């Protein structure tokens, strides 16, 4: 099943956009364009869809069986009623006292209260930490712990920074204690659209001589993959080592049934994170690797919101114009991205032996730039300790002049809403950009529901009218984060994520300029408009919000 796209129309639009940005010579003959001429397409794999659908059906059947079980036990209800009541009370007390997200606890308490018998069984199967979950978490944590020993803090860089930057230094201290060292002297390029970052990626891939490390959540066969595949195959023939890690859920539907086998036959080293069929009885299949990392020879590293699919470069149109952002790093911070990749590579399979980490390290003798970076990562194995969520909140709390955020989804805990409101009340210019055209309608309803208290208290919210904004970044006058992290429960608690915290005048200004371009392209939502939202939204939104952590 394949959907072709009008390539010429796409590039006319893309060319006009770059002319507006001052890149009107981008397609001149002396510039090599890797994207021009690519044919975008949306190609769905029926076998992958059926595999996901079968897994979902198994889970659905489990749910239906549990829900209807009480009806089969009607004749025994008198005997079991008090037992189930006591058990439900025990479960509720247990959940109230668990060290977990309040929203997560509220969702399960609601389920157990509404479905006294079925809810308890659901919680026992899917809400608590089972033996398999704990074993998998422990395996992942062991790999992360092993890799972390190769992340060594340069004390001179650290002490110099915190002495000269007291506000940012608080966050730097926190991240350093969480195992994310600060590096200085990095050069960082910022890309305001996905097509821009892919142009640079393809150019850097052509220069690879030793190794290429690739980790993405979504992999889709199409124009972007065709070009990357062509370059990677050629590089393998030249003796370059290519390690390719991807999430099973993110690649299953839009890649060939024998995608992995074909690549392995071509010389790729492949690992797949968390196959969806392995944990159908426990919903651990919900825990995905949402990370995006590409490292070339240890010299250059990329990350951002973009995936390996044509919509991220606007070669196909799914939800209007797709806006994503990314960064290209040169300097010691590349090692942070490399270590995260290797940690997840080892977490994806249990071979009993470790990779030679230092084989992939490059020592930068001279400074590449003037940007301070801390490469960060997080995931559900860390629960309930979530450093990325804490860092996001610290960005909000320490903002003094302005706080600008882009996120495709805005589903956050009450304490973070309060932090945003407090920032606005103390005079910080707080603005959030969300999509005008959503990719998930139910999540759009929840995002919109969260507008209300924020708008009422002075937070400004914009919707990106050209289409879907998938970029994930937080900017203040002190620093900026660009990465894979959405402001929602899934990113903070259920997914493995990564990003880069940066402090540097040029990179912060580049992101700030992009924010203001995007503000102009977006429509500001007022509190009065929010109050006039459709009546059906007002009915559905509170119900969806009750179970927002389970979406």
Q: What is the pLDDT of residues 12-23, one digit of tens each?
A: 443 434 433 333
Mean pLDDT value across residues 217-238: 96
The pLDDT > 90 percentage for the chain reads: 64
- Look at residue 65 and tell me whether its pLDDT is greater than 50: yes
- Look at residue 26 and tell me whether its pLDDT is greater than 60: no
Least confidently predicted of 171-180, 221-230, 343-352 = 343-352
- CA–CA dist 183, 248 (Å, integer): 33
- CA–CA dist 289, 276 (Å, integer): 12
Could you tell me the pLDDT band of residue 125, with boundaries at 50, 70 and 90? low
Maximum Cα–Cα distance for the chain, whole Å? Answer: 83
Mean pLDDT value across residues 36-59: 71
- CA–CA dist 488, 185 (Å, integer): 32
Q: Which residue has the tokens 């960082």?
A: 188
Average pLDDT, the chain: 86
- Look at residue 384 and tell me whether its pLDDT is greater than 90: no
- Kindly report the backbone phi and psi dihedral angles of residue 24, in degrees, each rounded to the nearest multiple of 5, phi listed first: -75, -5
Higher-scoring residue by pLDDT: 208, 257: 208
- CA–CA dist 244, 260 (Å, integer): 10
Q: Which residue has the tokens 């006009």?
A: 16
- CA–CA dist 309, 250 (Å, integer): 10
Q: Three-state DSSP class for 369? A: coil
- Look at residue 491 and tell me whether its pLDDT is greater than 60: yes
What count of other Cβ atoms lies within 10 Å of the Cβ of residue 500? 25
Could you tell me the pLDDT band of residue 100, with boundaries at 50, 70 and 90? low
DSSP string, 260-295: HHHHHHTT-EEEEES-GGGGTTTTGGG--B---EEE
- Look at residue 7 and tell me whether its pLDDT is greater than 50: no
Mean pLDDT value across residues 442-459: 96
**What are 345's two structure tokens?**
């590579």
User: What pLDDT, on the 0 to 100 scale, is given for residue 30?
Assistant: 45
User: What pLDDT, on the 0 to 100 scale, is given for residue 252?
Assistant: 85
Instruction: Note the pLDDT tens digit of each residue in 328-339.
Output: 999 999 999 999
Could you tell me the pLDDT band of residue 51, with boundaries at 50, 70 and 90? low
In terms of DSSP H, where are the helices of 399-470?
A: 414-425, 441-456
Identify whether the C-beta of residue 462 lies closer than 8 Å to the C-beta of residue 522: yes
- Look at residue 415 and tell me whether its pLDDT is greater than 60: yes
Mean pLDDT value across residues 66-95: 66
- The set of residues, in sequence order, having a beta carbon less than 8 Å from that of 334 and lying 6+ positions away, is 295, 298, 299, 300, 301, 362
Could you tell me the pLDDT band of residue 75, with boundaries at 50, 70 and 90? low
Task: Identify the burial level of 134 via C-beta atoms within 10 angstroms of its C-beta, where 0-12 means exposed, 13-18 middle and 19 or more buried.
Answer: exposed
CA distances from 393 to 102, 452, 520 (A): 16, 20, 26
Residue of 388, 390, 392, 375 lying closest to 183 (CA atoms): 375
Mean pLDDT value across residues 169-174: 96
- CA–CA dist 472, 409 (Å, integer): 9
Length of the chain: 551
- CA–CA dist 449, 545 (Å, integer): 8
What count of other Cβ atoms lies within 10 Å of the Cβ of residue 207? 11
In terms of DSSP H, where are the helices of 320-386?
A: 333-347
């Amino acid at each position: 099943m394949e959907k072709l796209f009008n390539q010429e129309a796409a590039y006319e639009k893309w060319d006009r956009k770059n002319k507006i940005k001052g890149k009107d010579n981008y397609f001149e003959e002396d510039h090599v364009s890797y994207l021009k001429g690519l044919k975008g397409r949306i190609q769905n794999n029926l076998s992958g869809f059926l595999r996901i659908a079968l897994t979902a059906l198994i889970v659905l059947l489990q749910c239906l069986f549990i829900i209807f079980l009480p009806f089969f036990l009607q004749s025994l209800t008198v005997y079991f009623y008090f037992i189930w009541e006591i058990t439900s009370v025990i479960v509720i007390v247990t959940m109230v006292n668990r060290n977990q997200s309040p929203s997560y606890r509220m969702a399960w308490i609601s389920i157990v209260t509404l479905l006294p018998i079925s809810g308890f069984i659901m919680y026992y199967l899917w809400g608590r930490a089972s033996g398999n979950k704990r074993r998998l978490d422990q395996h992942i944590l062991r790999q992360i712990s092993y890799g972390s020993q190769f992340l060594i803090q340069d004390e001179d860089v650290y002490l110099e920074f915190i002495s000269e930057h007291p506000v940012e230094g608080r966050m730097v201290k926190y991240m350093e204690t969480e195992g994310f060292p600060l590096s200085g002297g990095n050069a960082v390029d910022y890309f305001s659209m996905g097509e821009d970052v892919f142009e640079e990626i393809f150019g850097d891939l052509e220069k690879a001589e030793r190794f290429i490390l690739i980790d993405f959540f979504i992999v889709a066969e199409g124009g972007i993959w065709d070009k990357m595949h062509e370059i990677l195959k050629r590089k393998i023939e030249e003796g370059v080592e290519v390690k390719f890690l991807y999430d099973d859920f993110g690649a299953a539907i839009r890649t060939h049934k024998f995608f992995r086998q074909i690549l392995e036959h071509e010389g790729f080293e492949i690992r797949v994170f968390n196959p969806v069929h392995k944990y159908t009885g426990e919903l651990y299949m919900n825990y995905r690797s949402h990370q995006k990392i590409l490292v070339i020879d240890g010299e250059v590293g990329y990350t951002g919101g973009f995936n390996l699919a044509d919509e991220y470069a606007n070669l196909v149109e799914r939800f209007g114009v797709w806006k994503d952002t990314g960064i290209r790093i040169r300097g010691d911070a590349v090692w942070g991205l490399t270590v995260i990749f290797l940690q997840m590579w080892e977490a994806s399979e249990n071979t009993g032996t470790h990779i030679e980490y230092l084989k992939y390290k490059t020592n930068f003798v001279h400074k590449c730039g003037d940007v301070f970076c801390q490469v960060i990562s997080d995931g559900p194995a860390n629960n309930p300790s979530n450093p990325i969520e804490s860092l996001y909140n610290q960005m909000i709390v320490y903002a003094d002049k302005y706080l600008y955020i882009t996120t495709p989804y805005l589903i956050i805990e009450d304490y973070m809403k309060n932090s945003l409101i407090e920032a606005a009340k103390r005079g910080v210019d707080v603005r959030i950009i969300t999509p005008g055209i959503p990719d998930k309608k139910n999540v759009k309803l929840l995002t919109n529901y969260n507008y209300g208290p924020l708008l009422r208290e002075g937070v400004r919210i914009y919707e990106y009218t050209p289409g879907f904004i998938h970029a994930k970044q937080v900017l203040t006058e002190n620093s900026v984060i660009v990465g894979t992290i959405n402001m929602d429960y899934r990113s903070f608690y259920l997914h493995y994520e990564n990003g880069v915290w940066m402090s540097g005048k040029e990179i912060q200004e580049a992101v700030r300029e992009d924010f203001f371009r995007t503000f102009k392209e977006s429509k500001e939502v007022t509190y009065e408009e929010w109050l006039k939202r459709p009546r059906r939204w007002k009915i559905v939104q509170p119900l969806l919000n009750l179970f927002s952590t389970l979406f």
